[in-house]
Structure 1
Amino acid sequence: MPDISRRVFGGLLGGGAVTAVAGPAAAAEAAPAEPAAGERPFAARTAGSGSARPNILVILGDDLGWADLSSYGSPHIETPHLDRLARQGVRFTDAYSGSATCSPTRFSLYTGRYPGRTEGGLAEPIGNRTQGLDPGHPTLASLLKKAGYATALIGKWHCGFLPDYSPTKSGWDEFFGNFGGALEYFSKLGQLGEYDLYEGDATYQDLRYYTTVLTERAVEYVGRDHDRPWLLNLNFTTPHWPWLAEGDEEAGAEIAARIRAGEGLGALLHHDGGSVEKYKEMVESLDAAVGKVLAALRRSGRERDTVVLFASDNGGERFSYQWPLSGQKSELLEGGIRVPTILRWPARIDGRQVSHEPVYTPDWTATLLEVAGARPDPAHPLDGTSLAGYLLRGEKPPERDLFWRVRRNRALRRGDWKYYQDAEGRDHLFHLARDAREQADLAAARPELLAELKAAWEKTAAGLLPYPG
């Protein structure tokens, strides 16, 4: 599977520097900038020592765009803690979310399957109490729990509301966070207009900035004296709208008042307010939060034997920096699904590496199950492909199609080629290694390849549930 060349990728970054974090403290000072050229192409360390059953920490940003980290080329957002995480592991340039919006991607992460395999995964995204992740469906958490792991989810769930749906009904031992897709960061009023911060299935009162609250909970969890390996899904809402940063209580109170007056959160805020500078503040607060959690992990003495996976749930939105990609959240152009993705496992994987292999959300489910010694449920076969052979044993990366289906778009990637159908039903063909911006449509020049990829998409789609009328 061809890679994007280092020369091309370096050009896309535009010479952007990668900042570092010095020392183990939670609020480490930034070290001198290091160029992306300090990375080397990924190569598995086939011999390694460490726990056969690592802890697993999966951290999701919310609507974080592909190039919103300084290590991915942002010219104005500084993310020293995430950049340090990238230098300690592998940074993926061609990593994708399982879908173009929040709920379907979370379904694909939790189940390891296409969102269209389940009724709840058809929602783009979930916005009412009738839809959700069936508690009887096996999940990453339930399968790891069966294998002896402790499991917790802190932050955004967005896979259904009480009373029928909850992380604690789907394999997580503990839950602390919000059920909906967004909330006002101080009042915790959520997408249904109700208070939306819970511990388990009971409301929990805390009117401080939400990112701060989640960070404290995550720091406490990783710092515990665990008697068995654990899975922690840490799902921040940052930098999802509403556009509020630490210290913006007054602006948050105005938003909360409008919600209480009957204005829906989504209709109120999706295209209301914000700025590039406010977005920068939010991303940098996410970076600082991740830094604190990783510092707690270092203090616990289990950093070496913990897999840390950081990604976004879909592409960026209004204020995201996505160059050179086209499109944004909700679309299957690259800007809607290509996401920053970093993997670190000091016991088994060397640092300062970059991988250009196409990977996406359901692959990580399969990978994490394998490295933890857990088995998928044969009644619910995974659509993701484990990357453990590639990452740990030096095997060739898996050759398979990456598939996406949303109501308005369709897409399939095979190697460097991408088939894309837009909202008007027009088919396009792009060569992503030469044209990551998806501006040079090769459909007319390569009709046979277009037909082959389109047929492959339709074959997969035929096995999924139809969208409700």
Structure 2
Amino acid sequence: MSVVEILRNPILILAVLFTVLVSCNKNEETSKPNIIYILADDLGYGDVSIYNNNSKIQTPFIDELALNGVMYTDAHTSSAVCTPTRYSILTGRYNWRTRLKQGVVSGYSKSLIKPNRITVADFLKDNGYNTAFIGKWHLGWDWSITQTDSLDIDNLKARPEVDFTKPIKNGPNTHGFDYSYGFCGSLDMPPYVWVENDLPTSVPTRITKGKSGQGTWREGLTADDFTHEQALPEITKRTVSYINKNANQKKPFFVYMPLPAPHTPILPTKEFQGKSKLDNPYADFVIMVDRVVGEVTKALEANGISENTLIVFTSDNGCSPAANFKQLKSKGHNPSYDYRGFKSDIFEGGHRVPYIMAWKNKIKPSKSDQLVCTTDFFATVVDVLGADLADNYAEDSFSHLSTTNLSSDAPKRESIIHHSVRGEFAFRKGDWKAIFCAGSGGWSYPNINIKKSVYDTLPTVQLYNIKNDVGEKYNLQAEHPEIIKEFKMDLLKIINDGRSTEGVKLENDEAPSWAQLGKLEEIGL
């Protein structure tokens, strides 16, 4: 049939148009990659061998991911501890805008994410994705609490009475995940209960005694189907099963896989014990985490979907001192690489992390020194899909898609706010980093717990040229008061505007009147 004959027949014209539309929709659907976000827990920048030429721990599967994607060397978590960072990953928003101004939530805490807050899982679900959370939540959810104890439920020593036969509220399923399986706090925080799609899989009937040392966990209620040593293998098995089930379906999938390792309790299974030959279970646990990454990538290969799957791998903060830095350094290994401090700190070791984004045969292998924050995942995903980012969410998220060979017109991140376990602030722009507190702001020396007469002699403001002084040894605040003044004003503006991206002014969850803001106001520059 000729083109002229088709054009003279309205029914045939409609049929052709319908076929074209169906084809376009199908192409649009298949062009959306599956997305997997693997979040290690307390993994140091220097623990990944491709990031550390002197590493005594070998991580071949993570290295392979880096060799086949973009390896970011200036990536940071939004906080130096885990709850706040997890909030920022899912919401694209700085954690200190919430009620949580310092520290972390407990295993009994209520949800830190408000019910009306749009998460990246919500966004992807609305854009045709199946979504799954499998692992460590540690953002709080609302247990059916029948009686509280004398302590606030955010307190890590709290032991309220819970009806474990009833569903939880305001958990992962509320915040965009079709499927969820995990536990509420850290692996060292009770209650030790698996929750699947809002319902505990077993009612805890026993109390496990607390342990100390690298295998430490707090005493608390434990379900019969919960074994600490098997938590990481169980999460891995469930994730691989989810990939197998959802591979090559009509809908793409998003898996958020926050691991409980190598955080305490440091419990490598028998296969990995002694594997590192460093006489340190932490090093063995890191190798086990690397194997988990390998299991995920192998599942993608086995299902023939590697070339349609975007993988992000990172850590929620720097390495914890529970790793035993002194012992590891005696073996020639530094989990923080050349950077100062560790988990909890405002120094680089507290929040500079390995960060890899890979998409086989789509993203060309490269190394990038672009400044990146874990809040940026949300905007990057939006950019990948060519969608629009609404003005009232992901307000601190910048796409880093332009660092790849894929096209992007999105603005790049030019500055970042760092946050310590004690709620102290630092502001970074270009090569300069201003710290608006004395000492580490965390657990490393010097901190607020040292002798007061010594702590009071420390400068209340610090300024480092991160490019020339990666170890943050030389405080140049006296030589450059103009930088301190500029950065203070930039920081205050971002705090008070409720956002760091362009757009209308937004509100923080709580008014910015916390102690840290007061400290900034006192700096008379």
Alpha-carbon deviation of 1:53? 1.0
Partner of 1:252: none
Q: What runs of 5+ residues in structure 2 fail to find an aligned partner?
A: 1-27, 144-167, 202-224, 272-277, 326-334, 440-458, 499-507, 516-525
Match of 1:326 among 313, 336, 340: 340
Match of 1:441 in 2: 475
1:64 aligns with 2:98: no
| Structure 1 residues 11-160: aligned runs within 5 Å | 51-73=30-52, 75-119=55-99, 121-122=100-101, 124-127=103-106, 128-160=108-140
CA RMSD after TM alignment: 2.5
Aligned pair partner of 2:232 in 207, 211, 214: 211
Give the Cα separation in 1 of the matches to 2:317 and 2:294: 22
Separation (CA, whole Å) in 2 of partners of 1:378 and 1:222? 33
The counterpart of 2:495, out of the listed 439, 447, 461, is 461
Contact 1:405–1:461, Cα closer than 8 Å, also in 2: no
Tell me the CA shift for residue 116 of structure 1: 2.3
CA distance in 2, matches of 1:168, 1:229: 18
Conserved? CA contact 2:137–2:182, under 8 Å: yes
Aligned length, in residue pairs = 387
Alpha carbons 2:135, 2:235 under 8 Å: kept:
yes
Tell me the alpha carbon deviations over residues 183-234 of structure 1, each in whole angstroms, 9 at most, x when there is no partner: 4xxxxxxx13x23222222233253611111111111111224321111001
Deviations 1:226-266 (A, max 9, x none): 32111100111110011221139xxxxxxxxxxxxxxxxxx
Counterpart of 2:307 (choices 304, 307, 315) is 304
Out of 193, 202, 212, which is 2:199 matched to?
Answer: 202
Between the aligned partners of 2:478 and 2:339, the Cα distance in structure 1 is 22
Give ranges in structure 1 of 5+ residues lacking alignment. 1-48, 184-190, 249-274
Structure 1 residues 276 and 68, CA, compared in 2 at 3 Å: closer, same or farther?
A: farther
State whether residues 308 and 344 of structure 1, in contact with CA within 8 Å, keep that contact through their aligned partners in structure 2: yes
Distance 1:165 1:346 in 2: 35
1:281 maps to a residue whose letter is D
Q: Which residue number in structure 1 is paired with residue 175 of structure 2?
A: 170
Give the SS at the match of 2:46.
coil
Deviation of residue 182 (structure 1)? 2.4
1:222 corresponds to which letter in structure 2? I
Contact conserved, 2:115 with 2:170, CA < 8 A, in 1?
yes
Partner of 2:164: none
Distance 1:381 1:92, change over 3 A: closer
8 Å contact from structure 1 (residues 68, 322) kept in 2: yes
Give the structure 1 partner of residue 218 of structure 2: none
The Cα of 1:461 is off from its aligned counterpart by 2.4
Q: 2:433 aligns with which of 418, 430, 443?
A: 418
CA deviations on 1:135-172 (whole Å, 9 max, x unpaired) are 22110001110111100011011111333331011110
Contact 1:408-1:423 at 8 Å conserved across structures: no
TM (normalized to structure 1)? Answer: 0.77
> Is the CA contact 2:307–2:360 (under 8 Å) kept in the aligned structure 1?
yes
Between the aligned partners of 2:426 and 2:514, the Cα distance in structure 1 is 20
**CA, structure 1 residues 276+199, in 2 after alignment: closer, same or farther (shift >3 Å)?**
farther
How high is the sequence identity, in percent, across the aligned residues? 33
The alpha carbon displacement at 1:343 in A equals 0.8
Give the distance between the partners of 2:132 and 2:386, measured in 1 at CA.
18
Supply the distance in 2 between the matched residues of 1:399 and 1:214 (Cα, whole angstroms).
Answer: 33
Shift of 1:394: 7.1
**Range with greater deviation from structure 2 (356-365 or 414-423):** 414-423
Structure ranking higher on relative contact order (CA contacts 8 Å, 6+ apart): 1
Q: In the alignment, residue 72 of structure 1 is paired with which amino acid?
A: Y
Distance in 1 separating the partners of 2:138 and 2:395: 21
Instruction: Please list, as runs of the form range in 1=range in 2, the aligned pairs for 1:342-357 lying within 5 A after superposition.
Output: 342-351=356-365, 353-357=366-370
The equivalent residue for 1:287 is: 290
Q: Give the alignment of 1:388-407 within 5 angstroms.
A: 388-391=401-404, 392-393=406-407, 398-406=412-420, 407=422
Aligned residue for 1:366, secondary structure, equals helix
Q: Distance between the aligned counterparts of 1:386 and 1:228, measured in 2?
A: 24
Q: Contact conserved, 1:399 with 1:415, CA < 8 A, in 2?
A: no
Shift of 1:396: 9.4
- 1:125, CA displacement in angstroms? 0.8
CA shift for structure 1 position 426: 1.2
Paired residue type of 1:365: F
* 1:123 to partner: Cα distance: 5.2
The letter for the 2-side match of 1:421 is F
Aligned partner (choices 224, 241, 246) of residue 220 of structure 1: 241
**55 and 357 in structure 1: CA distance in 2 versus 1, 3 angstrom threshold:** same
Q: Which residue of 2 aligns with 1:232?
A: 255
Give 3-state SS (helix, strand or coil) of 1:67's partner: helix
Contact 2:57–2:283 (8 Å) recurs in 1: yes
| Residues 32-83 of structure 1: per-residue CA shift (max 9 Å, x gap) | xxxxxxxxxxxxxxxxx99531111000000111111111115211111101
The CA distance in 2 between the partners of 1:412 and 1:78, in whole Å, is 33
- 2:353 corresponds, among 339, 354, 369, to 339
Residues 244, 217 of structure 1: alpha-carbon distance in 2 compared, 3 angstrom cutoff:
same
Letter in structure 1 aligned against 2:336: Q
Q: 1:359, CA displacement in angstroms?
A: 0.5
| 2:266 paired with 1:243 | yes
* Higher gyration radius (CA): 2
For residues 467 and 196 of structure 1, the distance between their equivalents in structure 2, rounded to whole angstroms, comes to 37
Q: Secondary structure at the match of 2:341?
A: coil
C-alpha distance after superposition, 1:78-136 (max 9, x if no partner): 111101111111111110011111111111111101112333x4352112423521122
2:302 maps to a residue whose letter is R
Structure 1 residues 69, 390: CA separation in 2 closer, same or farther (over 3 Å shift)?
A: closer
8 A Cα contact 2:262 2:282, kept in partner? yes
Q: Secondary structure of 1:301's partner?
A: coil
In structure 2, what residue type is equivalent to 1:314? N
- Name the counterpart of 1:384: 397
Contact 1:143 1:374 in 2 (8 A): no
Q: Structure 1 residues 310, 91: closer, same or farther in 2, change over 3 A? A: same
- Corresponding residue SS for 1:195: coil
